[in-house]
């Protein structure tokens, strides 16, 4: 117990030094709450703009450290299975609980990462995905394959109808260009789900390429409204 108190105090001192959050306010919060909430849900501390920016940078640092730690013995990061891809994006997205982030890993012919980019960030319930931007980066780095990933801040590991529709839209764009969409990973809390692992990933185009913006949302009311609009437009 004493060790836990000691490490918690060190964590809080480091956190307040790096972010500028008031120590007493942070100390008061953790008396009845999980200290990691401060990083995962920074708005609970009512930070100012500068403090919020520093918390964001600290989260990015922790995510980068986790990735480098996993792959410290390799010069290249190779995503050659759903398990490896899941662990990779879990390290990047597990602390992202106050917003939804959509990422893409661009891979060479050996499934080595050329670059991983955050393509969009939104609110806790939705984000907008721009297929043209994904295509632009894919062509710029001359990749052979891509892996999609985003987090579900609400905690669900299940792929929503929107997740499946988005994935198919991306396949429709990239399949004619002979660029494979290998997987779509969802990160939820400390776990992940793989669309490829579940056998739900199509490797064929089903429609003509559509480059319009995609609203990725977990809001069930919005989903129903969108379906209703689609029905009326037929």
Closest CA to 87 of 105, 108, 107, 61: 105
Residues of the chain with pLDDT under 50: 1, 219-228, 230-231
Provide the pLDDT for residue 106. Answer: 98
pTM of the model: 0.69
Provide the pLDDT for residue 124. Answer: 61
Give the torsion sign (CA, 35, 36, 42, 44): negative
Provide the pLDDT for residue 194. Answer: 97
Closest CA to 144 of 107, 117, 118, 116: 107
């Amino acid at each position: 117990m004493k060790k836990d108190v000691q490490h918690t105090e060190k964590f809080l001192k480091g956190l307040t030094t790096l972010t500028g959050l008031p120590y007493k306010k942070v100390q008061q919060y953790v008396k009845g709450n999980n200290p990691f909430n401060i990083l995962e849900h920074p708005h609970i501390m009512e930070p100012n703009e500068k403090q919020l920016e520093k918390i964001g940078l600290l989260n990015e640092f922790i995510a980068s450290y986790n990735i480098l730690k996993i792959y410290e013995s390799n010069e290249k990061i190779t995503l050659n299975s759903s398990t490896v891809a899941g662990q990779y994006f879990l390290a990047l997205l597990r602390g992202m609980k106050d917003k939804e982030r959509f990422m893409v890993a661009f891979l060479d012919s050996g499934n080595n990462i050329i670059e991983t980019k955050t393509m969009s960030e939104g609110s806790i319930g939705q984000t907008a995905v721009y297929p043209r931007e994904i295509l632009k980066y894919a062509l710029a780095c001359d990749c052979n394959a891509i892996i999609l990933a985003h987090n579900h801040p609400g905690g669900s590991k299940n792929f929503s109808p929107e997740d499946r529709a988005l994935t198919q839209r991306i396949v429709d764009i990239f399949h004619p260009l002979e660029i494979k969409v290998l997987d779509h990973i969802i990160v939820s809390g400390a776990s992940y789900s793989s669309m490829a692992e579940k056998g739900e990933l199509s490797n064929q185009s089903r429609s003509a390429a559509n480059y319009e913006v995609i609203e990725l949302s977990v809001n069930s009311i919005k989903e129903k409204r969108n379906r209703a609009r689609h029905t009326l437009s037929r």
